[in-house]
Structure 1
Amino acid sequence: MTREGEVVSRTFARSVINSCVQLAYEHAQVMIEYPEKEWSVGELPEIKGGFQPSQLSEVVNHLHRIALKLRSKRFENGALRIDQTKLIFHLDPSNGAPVAFNTYINKESHRRVRVR
């Protein structure tokens, strides 16, 4: 795949993904918003394989740029945009009745990762 998201070749094969870290959406979002951030020990989950936080941020931002281009192309080609407001309800633990609500804020990092 090129930097613009153009597929140049395909191969279908069995494979194993060996992740060096499991980032939360919040970690990825900070990397997108502040790509030059200096991460201190304990701010991220354990990183395996000798990788550094700056390398992870670089990869997250590279994938983010490609994803933005792919998303833009989908909409240019007529993809339907569904941005519905999601509500989060806070329930009373004693009886389960709703006591408050907030709107869910969908950030860029949420668009990069899909639930397994």
Structure 2
Amino acid sequence: MPRKNNRQKKLHVKKGDNVKVIAGNEKGKEGRVLAVFPAKERVLVEGVNMRVHHDKPTQENPQGGRIEREVAIHISNVMVIDPSTGEPTRIGRKRIEEDGGGRWVRYAKNSGEIIDK
């Protein structure tokens, strides 16, 4: 559902995160996030939610045919995997003070380990 104001919603996953699917037909599968679509609140996870796509012949693919591709799933159906334990965890945000300024980082709620390096 699109947001009414102009601010983009903060999401708990980013491109490149390792996530586990916690709901739906693909429950239990793990993969790396290939793309995040904040406006639609969906993510594309490598090897998860594969669907057959029918491609027309092009110069790059002169044969055309049926190709399996990942399809985006709702962001609420995935949890980030804690780097220290390998289990799914909720994500928190905290400010780290360094070199006179601070920056916001994501951390795993279970272990407290920082996810953003």
Where on the TM-score scale, by shorter chain, does this alignment land: which range? under 0.3
Largest Rg, 1 or 2: 1
Could you say which structure has the higher helix fraction?
1
More RCO (CA 8 Å, sep 6+): 1
- For normalisation by structure 2, the TM-score amounts to 0.24
- For normalisation by structure 1, the TM-score amounts to 0.24
Could you say which structure has the higher strand fraction?
2
